[in-house]
Structure 1
Amino acid sequence: MRLFDLIPAQFRIAVVGGLLLTVVAGSAALAWTAQDWRYGRVLERQARLQADTLNEISQASATQQRTEQDKRLALERLLQNQDETHHKELTDEQTKQARLRDRLATADLRLSVVLAATETTGNCAMSTAAATGRVVHGTTRAQLDPAHAQRIIGITDAGDQGLIALLACQAYAKEVSTPK
């Protein structure tokens, strides 16, 4: 006797359908599980590759950031040195101008200007009254009033400071704009 004969006739179709459904569902579940394993490995490999790529990108970014920061620090140090140099030049120039103003104020130094020559013939004009300790030959000079000399020194002092500041600005602009 067969197992199929033991099933009542009205339920045979349902049993065969149930068996077929079980075989189809079992094979689908087995295929689903196999696909899950295979795709799981693929996804795991892709995730590992993505993590490695992101790690490389972050390391490259950090290296580039360190390089740029080192460049910025080197530029800051260079500009600081240049600033100190220009400040020293400016203070030295101001000190020289102050000494010159002091010498003019104490009449230790007198400014003079060359007067236009009145004689163009070959005569060598000698001044009749030479200053103490020196003999004046050549072009005739006129001494400036100390107040006028102070104003002239003040004007040249402002001009010197402006030139030093301009040189500092030009050096800064050149250093900042020059590609490395």
Structure 2
Amino acid sequence: MPITWRVIGVALLALGAAALGWQVQDWRYGRQLAEQARLNAEVLNQLTLTAATAQQAEQDKRLALEQRLAASEQTHYRALSDAQRDQDRLRDRLATADVRLSVLLDAGDVAAGCAVPAAAGTGGVDHATVRARLDPAHAQRIVAITDEGDRGLIALQACQAYVRALAPEHFE
């Protein structure tokens, strides 16, 4: 059976229509893929900007915290050096006998077991308080103990300020 030109023409026409349909689908699918890629790129850019903004905010918070901690450290270092200077000055004055440490004595205890008079003379202005001077060596030891206590308190205040700076929401 011979194939007629008409059948060949219909077959070519059907083949051409199929090829054209295939090409149109390819173009449509290509546009859809391009649109999807563009939307994905926009979402990725938004996520990147959001992450960069969050990172910058965290860096700013960290910088502010570091500045607060540095200021607190300077304040406490200054307090520590001032206390040390005052203690050194007091220690020097005690060593040169410029200052003497004394303690109040209970008048009842003094009268019971010591030859120190229980009351001051009528010319005194201290209302019958009896004082005893401390030996300079003992005074130096007392000053050293108070110096250690002062340094400990200043260090404690510095630690408390550090913790408050790290977690301020727990202390408000």
TM over 0.5: yes
Residues 1:173 and 2:163 are matched in the alignment = yes
Aligned residue for 1:156, secondary structure, equals helix
1:126 is aligned, of 114, 120, 124, to 120
Aligned residue for 2:149, secondary structure, equals helix
Partner of 1:4: none
CA-atom RMSD, angstroms?
2.7
CA deviation digits over 1:31-81, x for unaligned, max 9? 211111111111111111111111111112111211111111111111111
CA deviation digits over 1:61-120, x for unaligned, max 9? 11121111111111111111111011000000000000010111111111111112218x
Partner of 1:64: 54
Shift of 1:175: 1.0
Partner of 1:12: 3
Partner of 1:33: 23
Q: Distance in 2 between matches of 1:68 and 1:40?
A: 42
- Judging changes above 3 Å, is the alpha-carbon distance between structure 1 residues 150 and 127 closer, same or farther for their aligned structure 2 residues? farther
Number of matched pairs: 162
Aligned residue for 1:125, secondary structure, equals coil
Provide the TM-score with structure 2 as the length reference: 0.82
Q: Which has the larger radius of gyration?
A: 1
Amino acid at match of 1:147: A
Q: Distance in 2 between matches of 1:74 and 1:108?
A: 47
> Where do 5+ consecutive residues of structure 2 fail to align?
110-117
Shift of 1:138: 2.3
> Where do 5+ consecutive residues of structure 1 fail to align?
1-8
Partner of 2:114: none
Provide the TM-score with structure 1 as the length reference: 0.79
1:96 is aligned, of 59, 82, 86, to 86
Partner of 1:6: none
Shift of 1:28: 2.6
Shift of 1:127: 5.1
Amino acid at match of 2:75: T
**Is the CA contact 2:120–2:129 (under 8 Å) kept in the aligned structure 1?**
no
Percent of paired sites with the same residue: 54
Residues 1:110 and 2:100 are matched in the alignment = yes
CA deviation digits over 1:105-157, x for unaligned, max 9? 111111111112218xxxx81159x9xxx865421111111111101110110
Shift of 1:30: 1.6
1:47 is aligned, of 37, 48, 51, to 37
- Judging changes above 3 Å, is the alpha-carbon distance between structure 1 residues 136 and 107 closer, same or farther for their aligned structure 2 residues? farther
Shift of 1:23: 4.3
